Amino acid sequence: MYTTLIDPLISIVLGATIISVATIAFGGTFLLRVVTGGQPANELQKSFFRAGHAHAGVLVMLGLLLAVLGNAAGASPGWANGGAIAVLAAAILMPAGFFLSVLGVDPARPNRMITAVWVGAAVLVTGVVLVGVTVLLAGIDRM
């Protein structure tokens, strides 16, 4: 047997998240086609596709980092893992909002799916604060 600092449930979530990075890489090939003219898109779509791709990559990495840090700090697993999972949920919501809000031929403005960006932002802030507070409390408890 071996011991680990990471809870088995969050380990499964993290493994699935790491595998999902392949979808972000595939999204990068789509973005490359868009910016090189291989896929037609107007300026609004180009900027939203860039934002969606960037948010996906950065937020997935942040979610992975927060999960590991929360567990390594000895923070309450339920709260720390919940916060990390919230950040990973934001990594789905925000890019989805960016991509889905500008679908179609030559949209002039984002559709109602832009709401997912704002919901994702709220979930992101909640998750980051949750992990930060639990890690802080874990440190105070060990003093």
Which residue range forms the structural domain that includes residue 137?
A: 8-141
Q: Tell me: pLDDT of 74 over 90.
A: no
Q: Tell me: pLDDT of 11 over 90.
A: no
* Confidence at residue 5, expressed as pLDDT on a 0 to 100 scale: 64
Write out the two tokens for 96: 């989805």
C-alpha distances out from residue 86 to 15, 28, 55, 102, 142, Å: 16, 24, 14, 25, 26
Structural domain contains residue 1:
no
Confidence of residue 3 (pLDDT cuts 50, 70, 90): low
Structural domain contains residue 23:
yes
Structural domain contains residue 129:
yes
Structural domain contains residue 102:
yes
76-126 pLDDT, tens digit each: 889 999 999 999 999 999 999 999 999 999 999 999 999 999 999 999 999
Counting residues of the chain whose pLDDT is more than 90, the rounded percentage is 80
Structural domain contains residue 3:
no
Q: How many domains does the chain have?
A: 1
